[in-house]
Chain A
Amino acid sequence: MALIDLANPTRFLSVTERVLPWLAAATALAFAAGLYLVWAVAPDDYQQGATVTIMFIHVPNAWLAMGVWTVMSIASIGTLVWRHPLADVAGKSAAPLGAAFTFLALLTGSLWGRPMWGTYWVWDARLTSVLVLFLMYLGVIALWRTVDDPARAGRAAAILTLVGAINLPVIKFSVDWWNTLHQPASVLRVGGPAIHPSILTPLLVMALAFGLLFVTLHLAAMRNEILRRRVRAMWLLQAHPAQGA
Chain B
Amino acid sequence: MDLGPHSAFIIAAYAMAALVVLGLIAWVLADHAAQRRLLADLEARGVTRRSKSEAA
Contact = CB atoms under 8 A, between A and B. Distances in A.
Contacts, number: 96
Nearest to A116: B6
A238 B41 CA distance: 13
Contacts of A54: 9-10, 13-14
A73 interface: no
A230 B49 contact: yes
Interface residues of B, number: 37
A217 B25 contact: yes
B56 A100 contact: no
B9 A111 contact: yes
A214 to B, nearest CB: 9
Contacts of B4: 44, 49-51
Given A50-B3, A230-B39, A237 B16 contact: no
Name A's interface SS. Answer: helix
A50 B7 contact: yes
Interface residues of A, number: 40
Given A14-B56, A217-B25, A217-B28, A108 B17 contact: yes
Interface string A212-245: 0100010011011001101101110110000001
10 contacts: A10-B54, A58-B13, A96-B24, A100-B20, A107-B16, A108-B13, A115-B6, A217-B25, A227-B32, A245-B49
Given A49-B6, A50-B6, A111-B9, 17 more contacts: A14-B56, A50-B2, A54-B10, A54-B13, A103-B20, A104-B20, A115-B5, A217-B28, A221-B31, A224-B28, A224-B35, A227-B35, A227-B36, A231-B38, A234-B39, A234-B49, A237-B49
Interface of A: 10-11, 14, 39, 44, 49-51, 53-54, 57-58, 61, 96-97, 100, 103-104, 107-108, 111-112, 114-115, 213, 217, 220-221, 223-224, 227-228, 230-231, 233-235, 237-238, 245
